[in-house]
Amino acid sequence: MTDSCPSAPAARREFLRQSLFAGGLLALGPAAAWAQGLPATPANPRLDQGLQRIVAPGGFGELLPPNADGLRLPAGFSSRVIARSGHFVSGTLHLWHAAPDGGATFPMGDGGWIYVSNSELPLGAGGVGAIRFDANGEIRGARRICSETERNCAGGPTPWGTWLTCEETDRGRVLECDPTGERPAVARDALGWFDHEAVTVDTRSGFLYLTEDKADGRLYRFRPAVPGDLSRGRLEVARRNGAAAPFQIDWLPLPNPNPRAWGIRTRRQVRESSPFNGGEGIWFHAGQVYFTTKGDNRVWALDTASDRLDIVYDAGTAPDPILSGVDNLVVSSRGELYVAEDGGDMQICVIGPDRSVAPIVQVQGHDDSEITGPAFSPDGTRLYFSSQRGTHGLGLTYEVRGPFQGA
């Protein structure tokens, strides 16, 4: 099975497909692939200056009344439910998990793809499920790829074809999963034990960036000893300098990434580090790490070359703060930010070039739920996401098709 971030260019996807999987490099581990000089995702000059040339979100048009799936979509878009918690995935004998959360897609060598989805259940009942699609988007299989874990919240895809699932619990771990399920998940303790939310990989440097979902959570950076090998490296925590955005970020070494029962939590080990209020989704694109903090309803952009941190969206100062409960996010291949709401109006909103916001999807009647796991199919024509608790506590996972303006 192949890998790529959903936003990676087609040439990048094809290169990874042929080199990593057809060539069998994944069997040797991701470090082997990186060691043979896999190129990082090429820079996108349009976005190296931030959000100046992103397609405006208003082009989607007004949301129509709810369709048969309970979704409000613009004209020209359609939807289907692809999985329901506690039910067999269509055409398979796999029961879809409860509390679906973070997700991503991985292209296959035959033109199909896999959508992976976390399960945010406690007490060892969490894990990761996966649905396999053919080149026409038809479901051809489903399976479990990670089990017996705790509160698998969000996570992130890697450039070498794996899914990093994050445990959102005290001393939670990051586990590296094979989207095909052919290889067992591996705990990556070097990424730290804390309330993990999400993780992304800078494809230029090989560094990882991680969020922590606590009111006094931190932003972390992991510098692997060997790019692509997550077994060892240095975990760092961010210090924000300046009184107002844009800020300059310093990275401070973390003394003990794996605090045991009575150890000091990672977020409290370095007094000079800066809190980020409820870190949520995170995504790397064209030199920028975009992430959200739900506690203060902000979307941030970190330039990884200069360590300059700016605020893209702030509900507290926005003239029309229609986006609230900012949570998971994904960036399309052209750079649009798709941000899902935890609560709020149960929308996925698109952030535009002037930092205005417009909804692209709204789920009706799911007042006690949240939208999770947004991810584009490899060709950018389909958007996957879940309503974690649905209408009766059971999650629903959707596919929306439409003209996502080059997503």
pLDDT confidence of residue 57: 53
CA dihedral 324, 325, 327, 331 (to 10 degrees): 0
Residue 396 inside a domain? The answer is: yes
Tell me, yes or no, whether 53 lies in a domain.
Answer: yes
In a domain, 282, yes or no: yes
CB atoms within 10 A of CB 256: 14
Place of tokens 């609560």: 343
pLDDT in tens, 163-217: 999 999 999 999 999 999 999 999 999 999 999 999 999 999 999 999 999 999 9
* CA 229 from centroid of its chain's CA atoms: 20
- Among residues 179, 135, 140, the alpha carbon closest in space to that of 20 is found at 179
For residue 407, tell me if it sits in a domain.
no
C-alpha to C-alpha distance for 22 and 268, rounded to whole angstroms = 45
**What confidence score (pLDDT) does residue 9 get?**
35
User: Which candidate, 99, 62, 103, places its Cα nearest to that of 322?
Assistant: 62
226 CB-contact burial (10 Å; exposed 0-12 / middle 13-18 / buried 19+): middle
- Would you say 247 and 238 are in contact if contact means Cβ atoms under 8 Å apart? no
Q: Chunk the chain into consecutive blocks of 10 residues (it has 407) and report each block's average pLDDT, rounded to whole numbers.
A: 35 33 33 35 32 48 96 97 98 97 97 98 97 98 98 98 97 98 98 98 98 98 97 98 96 96 92 98 97 98 98 94 96 92 95 84 95 97 97 95 79
- Rounded Cα–Cα distance for residues 245 and 310 (Å): 5
Residue 375 in tokens: 């991810």
**Does 4 fall in a domain?**
no
Q: Is there a domain that residue 178 lies in?
A: yes
Q: How many domains does the chain fold into?
A: 1
Side-chain-side CA neighbours of 20 within 13 Å: the count stands at 29
- Asked whether 203 and 192 are in contact (CB, 8 A), the reply is no
**What is the predicted pLDDT for the residue at 403?**
92
Write down the pTM of the prediction.
0.88
| Residue 357 belongs to some domain of the structure | yes
Would residue 49 count as lying in a domain?
Answer: yes
| Cα–Cα dist 324/340, whole Å | 9
What CATH number is given to the structural domain containing 236?
Answer: 2.120.10.30
Query: Which range marks the domain in which residue 257 is found?
Result: 10-401
Q: Which amino acid is at 366?
A: H
- The single-letter code of the amino acid at 82 is I
Q: Which residues of 127-165 are buried (b: 16+ CB within 10 A; e: fewer)?
A: bbbbbbbeeebebbbbbebbeebbbbbbbbbbbbbbbbb
Q: What is the pLDDT of residues 335-352, one digit of tens each?
A: 899 999 999 999 999 997
